[in-house]
Each structure stands twice: as structure tokens, then as C-alpha cells.
Structure 1
Amino acid sequence: MTEGLELPAILDLVAAPGLLEAFTGRRGQALVVNGASVQRLGGQCLQVLLAASRAWAADDVPFAVAAPSEEFAANLELMGVCAADLAHRAPLAGKEFGE
């Protein structure tokens, strides 16, 4: 089963510890991160997102960012990343990711 995580509107220095905790609590589970509400993304939360993406890839567990808002996508692009760069698709016992 795929777990979901709704990102807050403001992902800044203040939000980084809570974001890290949210990812830590979901480690080992297939995860879809919903970025539809994101209005602002700071460097610290980008680091947390990148670290989570790498951790899920190391565990070979699916990780994806879904529905990134225009602001989220633009902030990622300004920092040289796109939502697809964060994704990791691992096999789910013969099922396609997201089913």
C-alpha cells in the first residue's frame, strides 16, 4: 500500500524539522508526496526532500512527488531540481506504482 504525505504551503527553515520527522516516520513504505499546496520552498526543505528521495532509493522503495504546484515546480527549478528528479520507482510485486 502506498502512503501519502501532504506538504505544507511554506517549506522554509522552520518547516524543515517537521518535514524530516514526517519522512522518518514513513521510511520503508512506498510514499507519494503531494506538492499541490506548496507556495514557497527553501533550501533546507529541499535538502530534506533530496535526502528522503535518496533514502527511499537506497531502500528500493517507491517515492514520488505528485501534483506539484506551479510555485513548487518553479522553486525546484530555480534550485536545479525537478519533481521527477526526486522520484524512485521500485517494483511492487508485479504491480505498477500508484495502483
Structure 2
Amino acid sequence: MQSNDVSDTLTLPVSLDLAAATSLKQEFLSRRGRKIHLDGANVARAGVPCLQVLLAARRLWADDQIEWVSGKFSVELVSALNELGIGLERFGLEKEPAK
């Protein structure tokens, strides 16, 4: 799939809990095929279902060869990823945020 020139920002909600997983999935699917900028700076809680959605979306963008840019990730989001052994490099990030 070829990307177009439209870049879309997806700001993650404060709570990435089970209730947010379905709507997060829909947010990603509605942006499929477009460059995306992911902003996770405001995330205060992150559960496994939403982290799975994030990983699946990242894989879709990689498979489609569409640009994906990760902005800031909150300390809480990084901590949740680390607890599951998910490296920040999977999201294009090089290091943990300052505490």
C-alpha cells in the first residue's frame, strides 16, 4: 500500500484500559493508509488489551510501508510496555522519557 501525503496525529487517551481497546482499534483502522504520528504523552494508565492494539497497529503500518512517527510516551506508558518486555524501538523510540 502506498502512503499519501496526509499525516494524521492520534493522541492516545489518558486511560488505555479494556474499555478503550475497541475504540482505539477503530481509531487506527480509520487512519490506515495514512502517515501517522502517535502521541502518548498524556497516558496515565495502560492495560494489556490496548498495548496489544498498539502493537498490532504498528505492525500494520510496517507491513503497509506507511510512515509511523511516535511522539512522546508518558512514563506510565513506557513502564507498562517495559513490564511486558516490549522494547521502545518497536515504536521508533530510542530511550525512556525523563522522570
TM class, shorter-chain normalised? 0.7 to 0.9
More helix by share: 2
Residues 12-64 of structure 1 show CA distances to partners (whole Å, capped at 9, x for unaligned) of 11000000000000000010110000011111001100110000011000113
Alignment coverage as a number of residue pairs: 87
Unaligned runs of 5+ in 1: 88-99
Partner of 2:15: 10
CA distance in 2, matches of 1:77, 1:65: 16
The partner residue of 1:79 within 76, 80, 84 is 84
Q: Percent identity?
A: 39
8 Å contact kept, 1:6–1:34: yes
Cα root mean square deviation, aligned:
1.1
8 Å contact kept, 1:53–1:86: yes
TM-score scaled by length of structure 2: 0.82
